[in-house]
Structure 1
Amino acid sequence: MEQEQGQPLQSPTEDFSMPGTNSIGQEQMDRARNVLATIAEVFGQHVVGQENLKTALLVSMITGGHVLLESVPGLAKTTAAHTLAKSVNASFKRIQCTPDLLPSDIIGTQIYDYSKGEFRTQLGPVHANFILLDEINRSSAKTQSAMLEAMQERQTSIGGTNYPLPKPFVVLATQNPIEQEGTYELPEAQLDRFLLKEVLDYPTVSQELEILKRIESGILGEDAKSGVSAHVEIDDILALQELVNKVYIDDAIKQYIVTIVAATRQPSTYISQDYAKYIQYGGSPRASIAFQQVAKALAIINGRNYVIPEDVKELRHSVLRHRIILNFEAIADQIHPEAIIDAIFGAVTAP
């Protein structure tokens, strides 16, 4: 049975738990459950609906990965990222990208101190735990490169000196796909640096009605957003990131992940030619690594210390949609990567 994104995971029909005693104790699982429940509660108070987005943001926070949020304007991308970051007692910076934004505006620069007759280093806003990079596709290619280098290396270099970024360090980048004037599209190699790419959809009629009611009552709005207070400490997030590394993943599930990614590179071997002809390039080994990280994080979110196949399936679109490169024929025929991803998962047998 195919697992829809954002739906509760079913109990496994096969035992994928670690033989013997698992390295994760019940006390650690209880702590993780309480931390995640607290963050989810704060998120639900300030964002209506968007369950897939909530899951993607929690996964990025647990794994220390970065997430790219894409949608038309007004679907709470910025609000969601702001709410998640401010719910944790950690540093938070918002960077509004514009075409004239320089790399030094992000990573920092050296300033000459006339009183001392020497240069001093002024660190940029990227030196924070949570970074909201708003409309990343509006910044120039040079600035995008500097930011993505910081995301990958977890440090910046100013005046020949390396400055480590704080832990945790999570970038939540947003982009608007419908405005092309004054934008610089992210190259595929840079997109691959993001653990997840989440595409937001319009709310349902009932959800939009709830938004109006909350704004009228004062629960939502600018005043309410500025009132988001920290409920979780930074040590709680670091503990989650250490815990996720201890989650057990069976070799059969690792083989499942590798086979799925291999199917994106050799699609004609696994899926029909009707879909296979649209794939120009498949996922790199970074896709396999991302699947494993995301599956472990989802296991923690769902209260387990081991991975089941449904953990791999749940965020399949978010993991692969920016890693499968489609050709011009796919664009002409209006074929979306999600359809091809579903075809691959339907063709590869889960353990």
Structure 2
Amino acid sequence: MKIILIVLVSIFLSSPFLGHSQFRFSETIQHSKAATDTQASLFFIDFWATWCGPCVYASEYLSVLQKQYPDRFYVVSLSQENPEIVKRFLKKRPTDLAVSIDYEGETFQTNNTKVLPYGLLVDINGKILWKGSPTDFKKEDLDFHLSQHSKQKEVHKVFKIQKLKEEVFEEDYIPAEDFEMKLLRKTNYENLETSVIGDYMLYKGTLKSIIAKEKKILESQLQIAPALNKNYQIYIKKGTNGLLSILDELKLDLYHTETTGEVFLLDISKLTYWDTQQIDWGKNTAEYLIDDTQIQGDNVTFEEVMYQLSLILKLPIVTTGAEPDKEKHDWLIHHRFYNLMLTDLEDTYGIKASKTMERFKTYSILKKTP
């Protein structure tokens, strides 16, 4: 069923650290209920999604700041999802913040927003003053920038109405089976796109990127013939063995061997886990909050959190000394500064880590022999 909406396309001009870019919003879902004025000195764009549990926490955190500075600070939560999905979500989880929809995902793409939650602080001229995870934006940061920016501008002059445009939105497709796979013949994906639709994980990308994600390895650890590495759209229901389903569907085999190269070696002989009470983002939320400085995990396994760290370091991770358990735990790992990360891993979890040359597994995908 299709829903026809008339939406307002808004343009917000900014001057990032280098050059200029546009922030284009296609619809305002709601105006701020916490800001007491129609003008402000500073504006915060809160990138989020309804499926992102940490985003909900980040928005609640920003709501507190918004209420503390109702007349000089203005927060807009920006999603690139279907407006109807956002509206339904807000009925269950209302917010006092202004909420808008990104025009065809342009603002997300322009600012290379791949990890959520994410935020930008901008002045009345659109200059970016701060960027990162919203929960890292402290009251002291806001106080400092407010002391440097006293001029104010009307919100409607910052978020300008450009034109009216008719948009056609389709309700999310919900698969009938636990696993559904479709070849995308006319679409090429440079990067894997992932999203959560109800109880399903949706992938759009090359077969190599999808299998690497399901296997929790780097794409560099996976070899596949170009003829097999086509683009697919795949729905995998939670609890389904997605990797096995993909291999069975395409009649493929996955082989592994070992090679020697630089790895991030973890001695886990003295590993001490956190329990699941350290972080709590509620039920049916995302598992990770990953920003420029740290990884937070709510109820995730050792394998899953180390896969995220491997992606950040762009190195295979090899463990020694013991076998990690498969239970779920909470995690907080700093990754921005290498030496701090090593100290943090050892002091917090008893993990001794180092970059070294070591043997690690690599994988090959081949067609099954008839």
TM surpasses 0.5 = no
Normalised TM-score (structure 1): 0.27
Larger Cα Rg: Structure 1 or Structure 2?
Answer: 2
Structure ranking higher in helix proportion: 1
Structure ranking higher in strand proportion: 2
